[in-house]
Structure 1
Amino acid sequence: MAKSTRGSYEQKFDRAWEVLLVRWHDNKVVNAMTNYDSADPPTSTIRYDRSARKRLPIPQPKVLKSYNMGMGGVDLHDQLLGALESALDSPALSEQERCWRRLSADYQSRYCGHCNTTTDIKEANFFGRDGQFILAGSDDGTFFIWERQTAAIVRVLRGDATIVNCVQPHPRLCLLASSGIDSCVRLWGPLPEGAPQERCVADAEHAAQANQQRMNADPMDMMLLNFGSRVAGGDEAPGQGIPCRTS
């Protein structure tokens, strides 16, 4: 595999364990396993080509792009677990406290794409008759809607000029309320078929990637960037969020 063309990949499905094994040739051979994603259809990523002396697109298995979108959250989770394990060794903790701390690190599902680095909290809620969707606000002025079972992004909507903190569903009607830094609360309901989706973010995947970069950036850099954008631009136009840091 190491001698194959850069960007080539192979895959094998283990029926006994129901796990897909993917091997991809990048700078070196990268191995991945998944029980929910797939390698096809392949996406693309940019790599520097020494022979051409420029950056060129190469094929990339879909599962690796999904992993890269959420790897900041995975790395942060591992870092926090490491800190937690160190704290659990402290002799000052009671056995009950150690038990509580171990249990507090567990979760069943993880939903990636939104960003929370600027305000203290982003409200998350269930939505739908059977709670089949998950909602949460984001620092880029949008709120995300995920499918609860698969964690796939269903829709990204522009809810604020800067930050969306709260998203609440109506207890009986198909209606959402969102609020953030703007001096208004917005109500969201179904539109007629064919109506323009003015507040729908067309490229949800790009929005999620930009938010991931923002969460991995230095907090001081992001604070200065946000401050500078407001000073330079004055009052922000409706629907224009704080720029996310580019790679």
Structure 2
Amino acid sequence: MEASLSHGSREMGHMKDFLLKGVALSEDESLLVETVRDLCRNEIAPRAAEVDREEKFPWDNIAKINEMGLNGLFIPEKYGGNPISKNAWFMILKEISKACPSTGIIFATTSHGCHPIVQFGTPEQKKRFLPPILKGALAAISITESDAGSDAKAMRAQAIKKSDGYVLNGTKSFVTTGDVADILTVFVKVKEENEIVGLTPFILTKDMAGLRAGKIEKKMGLRGSSTSEVILEDCYVPADHLLGAPGGGFKILLSSLNSSRPNIA
């Protein structure tokens, strides 16, 4: 069985390499991909087995990625980033994931967590939250609950409107890097005047009172990348941390899922 799985993984890797051959890149993008490939070959891949075996979060790998400024690849130039084409992005993500799958999923998760802010945040939110990510902060996105995956109707976590903000309560499940993320986009149902308005995302920071990590999952693979519960216990969030309009989160949720799927593939 193990040999069969290994053979299947190699075949999938060969298929991805084949699909990416001949992809058109600019000269600068080609140079960047080659630089990332060298980093992965010399610095990241040699430690991948240890990272997985010991369930060790690869902070050193993340630091090396940050030294190269790779978080800037998914941040608009207006906010200090250096975005590249989708083709170049997929090739860079492939190189990192091939060298160390745990490091790849952590890097991809920061781009996923950043996406709602980039696409739907106000100018003030972008100015506040994107520069820390550019400098190396980890971002994550929190959708799933124990009885709800991406099914918005089944979500139970709620945000109750107060005069100057919202109070969040609930438990989110299977959040990649949920225990270490600096910035977390959390989807909950907003309740105003005893009525559910609808699904709404909020931008949370790890220092907020009432926000904590719960159970850390034990996994068969990607063991260097943590997956945890995110617990909200009377977590007060200022109104200016709300993304979009109250109840307008379904469109943002779909956009976030659609953005993440090619990266996962």
Q: TM-score, normalised by structure 2?
A: 0.25
More helix by share: 2
* Structure with higher RCO (Cα < 8 A, 6+ apart): 2
More strand by share: 1
Bigger radius of gyration among the two:
1
